[in-house]
Amino acid sequence: MLTPESIFRIVLPIKTVSEANCRWHYMKKHTFHKKQKEIIALVANQFPTDLPLHIKLTRIAPGTLDKHDNLPCSMKYVYDAICGVITPGLRPGFADDNELISVSYDQSRGKLGEYSVMIEFFKP
């Protein structure tokens, strides 16, 4: 069986945590999400924009998260920022509701103190 090759791949120094179990002050959350979005904005002009696309987000960190709910929850703002770039003109937070964009999540163990996200784009 042939596996599709990614048409674009980048690893960004973005830390993600399971926000389902966080009890952060709202300003700490805001600052955390703003930093994630700023890092994505630095390389956004390189992202492919010809839909349909499949996006694979891989969390790289010393520990792992529950794959079914905590992993996708940790990537919510990363995914929202990416979709905001590849589908311009939509309000923030609404760009990810597009049938032409699909997403999958994975995780990989990194070294102690290593936090990043690998973003891969595939043509379905």
When pLDDT is cut at 50, 70 and 90, the band that residue 1 belongs to is very low
pLDDT of residue 5: 81
Question: Model confidence over 2-13: pLDDT tens digits?
Answer: 457 889 999 999
Q: CA–CA separation, 116 vs 123, rounded Å?
A: 23
Indicate the burial class of 115 (C-beta count within 10 angstroms; 0-12, 13-18, 19 or more). Answer: middle
Class level of CATH domain 8-122: alpha beta
Q: How large is the average pLDDT for residues 54-82?
A: 94
Q: Kindly report the pTM of this predicted structure.
A: 0.91
Average pLDDT over residues 78-83: 93
Whole-number Å distance between alpha carbons of 71 and 69:
6
Closest Cα partner for 7 from 59, 60, 58, 49?
A: 49
Q: Is the pLDDT of residue 113 over 90?
A: yes
At residue 22, the pLDDT reads 82
Domain coordinates of the chain in residue numbers?
A: 8-122
Contact between 4 and 122 (Cβ < 8 Å) = yes
CA distance 108 to 99: 27
In the predicted model, what is the mean pLDDT of residues 74-99? 87
pLDDT tens per residue across span 18-36? 888 788 899 999 999 999 9
